[in-house]
Homo-oligomer: A and B are copies of this chain.
Amino acid sequence: MKMPHPSLITLTLLVMQLSSTSGGKILVFPLDGSHWINMKVIIEELHARGHEITVLRPSDSWYIEEKSPLYTSITLSCRGGFKENFDTNLSQQLEIRLQMKPGHFWSNFWAQMQMRGVLLDQFFQFHKRLGDVITHVFENEDLMQSLHADKYDMVLTDPGIGGGAMLARRLHLPLVFNVRWTIQGEAHFLIAPSPLSYIPFTATQLRDKMTFPQRLKNVLSYFMGMFTLSYITEPAYKPIVRRFFGPDVDYSTFFLDADIWLMRNDFVFEFPRPTVPNVVYMGGFQCKPPKPLPADLEEFVQSSGEHGVVIMTLGTLMSNLPQGISEEIAAAFAQLPQKVIWRYTGQRPNNLGNNTLLVKWLPQNDLLGHPKTRAFITHGGTNGVQEAIYHGVPVVGLPLFFDQPDNLSRVRAKGAAVIVDIAMLDRHIFKEALMAVIYNSTYGNTMQTLSKLHRDQPMKPLDQAVFWIEYVMRHKGARHLQTHSHKMSWFVYSSVDVFAALLAAALLATLIWIAVVRFLWRTIFSGRKTKLH
């Protein structure tokens, strides 16, 4: 059965009612890397709608261009070398990851601890550098004065870095987050009640239905995770907050004080969980219908005939692999009747099949939206997974770091992905996973259903995001959507004091009751005794 839809007339009237021509002034403090790719999608849309955008970028930025038709940039000087460090850390993590074979509990535990150490160091360096950047901004009085003088309407930032929220506070501007992670972990855990009985904590790869041991693991992971995070971010940001905002200011309140949280996920992707009114879900906002492929690529795709093509890419951070693994992958690909397009910048495997095309870059969205695409092999970055859902392409996951195992475990829980452990990968296992996803129609059908659900929203995610950014500018914030929760201490929030008072009252009442009964008992008893004697 198909349904009619809100009439065009009503929507037209709504649009006309809210439309206007003059633009706002937005100060953007982005996070580099894949997060910038996301932010740029929003900036493009804001620019198209007539807003004036200023982007703060570090001088050694990986991706954030100094010159752009979309925005004016302000470059903040940084001592370089960060990207190199980051890459070294990633390689170390991959090396450790490859040693972790199933069934070796203690050696895996040890590897996990080592990996956590490298990751902590990486995150610590990362936030230390970002802390330096925002310190430079605050110290630069000319810059601060000109930022004040420019009279921005709001700050748009990624709370995966701490500087944007601090800058918004310093400039007294409304604040909107483009968010997947914050400096204090996954965003929902900070702002929405997240019962650990059915909300899997970050990096546990658990789902919303958990056994008792899984729930135990979840609770322990939560406390360990929150402790670790505070260990990373406190030293990076606390001294800055103390210096520029005063000794009594808690740095975390800045982040909890955002007007709107634009979340880069939705409940087709994420397990359903409690949320709060100032959270807007815009998962898949970067997805769009495919554009035609370049002629040579289209020709290669068409040459696959009825078998179709398989796409493989491991994202912006990791585009090559140890030779041994890439050869196993190549061998598996060579046995497929499909054609394969593989984004790979490492050394060309010797055993590469004729059906496999190695490329340095691929038009991911256009390829995923191609009718001949049968499967997507991904590391499980949020963007890739969202695009696979949008286009309804089933997934073989090769998770490496960060949120990748969690992202993929969500798609697997829904029945649209097979995950391969990279440490165990050989040509047979990999081929088996590919064959399952390509030839067992439940994976494809499930992904098609997810795609339909994801696309069926009252408003497109990107329009939704821009609506709320403009809303914050129209109303100078969105305080009425902020819950009162983060203005309370944890013990008030959790009513510990109230329950303690009730318990004390109950105890007191019991004691009085016992005393009265004893008194009455004694009176009667001693009275009797007297009589008896």
Contacts and interface: CB of A to CB of B under 8 A. Distances in A.
Contacts of A268: 480
A511 interface: no
A6 interface: yes
Interface in A192-246: 192-193, 195-198, 208-209, 212, 215-216, 219-220
A470 interface: yes
A10 to B, nearest CB: 6
Given A267-B277, A502-B219, A272 B481 contact: yes
A266 B405 CA distance: 37
B11 A23 contact: no
Nearest to A22: B2
Contacts of A10: 460, 463
A360 interface: no
A497 to B, nearest CB: 7
Given A271-B484, A274-B483, A470 B20 contact: no
A219 B496 CA distance: 11
A483 B215 contact: no
Contact of A474 (B2, B459, B471, B497): B2
A208 B488 CA distance: 11
Given A10-B463, A480-B272, A483-B274, A197 B495 contact: yes
A223 to B, nearest CB: 10
A22 B483 CA distance: 42
B459 A459 contact: yes
Nearest to A271: B484
Nearest to A215: B498
A269 B483 CA distance: 13
A49 interface: yes
Interface stretch (A88-96, A306-314, A392-400, A450-458): A450-458
A195 B474 CA distance: 31
B456 A4 contact: no
A190 interface: no
Given A458-B458, A484-B272, A474 B1 contact: yes
B50 A473 contact: no
Contacts of A424: none
A208 B276 CA distance: 14
B11 A5 contact: no
Contact of A459 (B14, B209, B495): B14
Nearest to A10: B463
Interface of A is mostly: loop
A14 B5 CA distance: 10
A440 interface: no
Contacts of A14: 459-460
B480 A212 contact: no
Contact of A488 (B197, B482, B488): B197
Interface string A468-505: 00110111000011111100100011110111011000
Q: Which of A12, A50, A216 has the most CB of B within 10 A?
A: A216
Contacts of A19: 4-5
Contact of A15 (B5, B274, B467, B484): B5
A153 interface: yes
A275 interface: yes
A146 interface: no
A278 B2 CA distance: 21
Contacts of A192: 274
A172 interface: no
A532 interface: no
Interface in A286-315: none
A267 B480 contact: yes
A466 B6 contact: yes
B493 A195 contact: yes
User: Could you say which of A6, A15, A274, A473 has the most chain B C-beta atoms within 10 Å of its C-beta?
Assistant: A6
Contacts of A497: 212, 215
A7 B466 CA distance: 11
Interface string A9-29: 011101100111111100000
A273 interface: yes
B197 A467 contact: no
A149 interface: no
A8 interface: yes
A59 interface: no
Contact of A193 (B7, B15, B195, B196): B195
Given A6-B459, A212-B501, 14 more contacts: A1-B153, A3-B18, A3-B51, A4-B20, A6-B15, A7-B15, A11-B15, A12-B12, A198-B493, A219-B498, A268-B480, A271-B484, A273-B276, A456-B474
9 smallest CB-CB distances across A and B, nearest first, come from A193-B193, A2-B20, A3-B470, A6-B463, A198-B484, A208-B484, A5-B19, A5-B18, A272-B483
8 contacts: A14-B460, A192-B274, A219-B495, A268-B480, A272-B277, A272-B484, A274-B274, A274-B276
